[in-house]
Amino acid sequence: MDARTLDTFDTTKDLLRFITCGSVDDGKSTLIGRLLHDSMLIHDDQLQALAVDSARIGTTGGDTDFALLVDGLEAEREQGITIDVAYRFFTTPRRSFVVADTPGHEQYTRNMATGASTAQLAIILIDARKGVLVQTRRHSFICSLLGIRHVLLAVNKIDLVDYDQQVFDAIATEFSGYAKELGIHEVTAIPISALHGDNVVTRSERIGWYTGRSVLEHLENVDLTDDSAQGPLRFPVQYVIRPRSDDLPDYRGYAGRVAAGTVRPGDEILALPSGLRSTVTAIDTADGEKDVAVAGESVTLLLAGDLTNSRICYRIRETYQRGSRGWRAWPR
Distance between CA atoms of 106 and 227, rounded to whole angstroms? Answer: 32
The pTM of the full predicted model, rounded to 2 decimals, is 0.65
Distance between CA atoms of 216 and 10, rounded to whole angstroms? Answer: 17
What pLDDT is stored for residue 84 in this prediction?
Answer: 66
What pLDDT is stored for residue 117 in this prediction?
Answer: 84
DSSP H helices, the chain, are: 28-38, 44-57, 74-79, 109-116, 134-145, 165-181, 215-221
**Helix, strand, coil share of the chain (percent; to 5):** 25, 25, 45
Residue 274 has pLDDT above 80, yes or no: no
Distance between CA atoms of 105 and 312, rounded to whole angstroms? Answer: 26
Superfamily of 228-316 according to CATH: Translation factors (2.40.30.10)
Q: Which segments of the chain belong to CATH 2.40.30.10? A: 228-316
Q: Which segments of the chain belong to CATH 3.40.50.300? A: 15-221
Report the topology of domain 15-221. Rossmann fold (3.40.50)
The 10s digit of each residue's pLDDT in 101-126 is 888 777 778 888 888 888 889 999 99
The 10s digit of each residue's pLDDT in 233-250 is 888 888 888 887 777 778
How many helices and strands in the chain, by DSSP H and E?
Answer: 7, 15
